[in-house]
Structure 1
Amino acid sequence: MYGNWGHDISTWGYVWLTASTVVFWGVIGLVAFAAVRAVSRGPGRSRESVAQPERLLAERFARGELDDDEYRRRIAVLRDNAPLTKGG
């Protein structure tokens, strides 16, 4: 239709088109991955926030604020009432 007027895409045009398409879909994929991960984690929940009470009890036990029986009793209560987490 255009004849030989120079309206064809060059080799570098194809390279740029391919690279920009890969980058575009990569960004879309990363955004989708981040959104799914944030939703599956739930509000205000992280692995660190689940382990925090046990860490505090261990620190109190190490400082001598809790005796052996009290520490074991409190850890057992925490573990019995801990929410179930996905993937262990």
Structure 2
Amino acid sequence: MSHALTAIAAAHWAGPFFGPWFLLVPLFWILVFVVLFAIFGRRWRQRAMDGGYGPDGGVNPGRQAETTLAERYAQGDIDEVEYRKRLEVLRANAPVRPGR
């Protein structure tokens, strides 16, 4: 009789919750969060470096205009005098962003 009770207790405690599945369920969820962070974390960090979220976040138009101007100068479309003149105008008319 005692062997039967021991077998029942062993079967109960060695059920699906305390077998190898007991360790695999938390590992599965940890893996899910790691994959999500790997996919979206890079986008969140890049977006934060580009100016953040919100109505005034995102691509900085002044920086984008300076980049386009520098590319035109590098390709030879404009000379140095024209480049410096336009760059000065861009920087003089750049909107002041609050909090920066």
Question: When the two structures are superposed, what TM-score results if normalisation uses the length of structure 1?
Answer: 0.48
Structure possessing the higher relative contact order (Cα contacts under 8 Å, 6 or more residues apart): 1
Please say which structure displays the higher CA radius of gyration.
Answer: 2
